[in-house]
Amino acid sequence: MVFRMRAAAVAAAVGVGVAVSGAASVVADETRAGDTRPVVFVHGLHAGPGVWSSMKERFEKGTAGDFPPGRLHAFDYSETTEDHIADNAKRLSDWLSSEQLGEVDVVSHSMGGLVARKAQEDGATIRRIITLATPNHGTGCCWSPTRHPWQACQDMWRDTLFGTESDFLKDLNAHAHITPDTVMTYATGTDDGQVAADSVHLDGAVNLTIEPETSGGSCIDPSVHNSILDREKVATDSMNFLRYGAAGVSQQSVLSRQSSEP
């Protein structure tokens, strides 16, 4: 997500781990056996499917060999990212139907997570959603619609002083059906310069945080915000979550908050 303005920093909290019973792990293992469910990558604002090159390569080279190239897909809405999020969610749903992919899992970045969540709310057959640096509770970089006339920004603004968010986000979050086995969020540090961790994380989800490798990042510098796409640990946790749900990452959640590897 790229912005052309500066905004106030957003105070944030780190993620919380999720404990999963052994019984849940057994069920997850049985679900994962022979799973060929498509995985769809959804990019964010002012981006395109090319942002996924590093992560897709890590998926394809995973030690289990269960994410071959034919299982991985990327939704491209690069020409309409400034439109209302609901409009792009409709495009995602229509694309899923046209591709005849059936039930899918989604890995999303930044605003792409809101597009995927809205599509699921409106009936798209999505099993699990991973949101990486997604402004699930808005971003201060969009707080002034007069400076950012993009329709998408009108949908995901956040007043960083009072903590209020757009009507779109209020509605999306109020109707969300989130469980530790269906949604995982991932933040970089307490604030990556564009989205704070307390905006990324969602009640009821597996919420993880990885420390940034570099400092900096702002509304006009997306380097830290985008760096999550190139982190090996994030890719590994994502694959494990898609395989096993919360059981795949519950033992690693503390590590991901405290470690800067890799």
pLDDT band at 160 (very low <50, low <70, confident <90, very high): confident
In the predicted structure, residue 127 carries a pLDDT above the cut 50: yes
Instruction: Report pLDDT for 34.
Output: 65
Rounded Cα gap, residues 135 and 191, in angstroms: 11
Contact between 106 and 124 (Cβ < 8 Å) = no
pLDDT of 179-203, one tens digit each? 999 999 999 999 999 999 999 999 9
Residue 165: φ, ψ to 5°: -135, 170
Give the DSSP letter of residue 68.
-
Sign of the C-alpha dihedral computed for residues 18, 195, 173 and 94 taken in this order: negative
Q: What is the pLDDT of residues 11-62, one digit of tens each?
A: 233 333 333 333 333 334 434 546 899 999 999 999 999 999 999 999 999 9
Q: What's the pLDDT band for 107 if we cut at 50, 70, 90?
A: very high
- Percentage of residues in the chain with pLDDT exceeding 70? 81
Question: What token pair was written down for 106?
Answer: 């989604």
CA distance 120 to 78: 20
State which CATH number among 2.40.420.20, 3.60.15.10, 3.30.70.1350, 3.40.50.1820 fits the domain covering 22-258. 3.40.50.1820
Distance CA 98, CA 96 (A): 6
Give the predicted TM-score (pTM) of the model: 0.84
> pLDDT: is 28 or 231 the higher one?
231
Average pLDDT over residues 144-169: 86
Question: What is the C-alpha end-to-end distance of the chain, expressed in Å?
Answer: 23
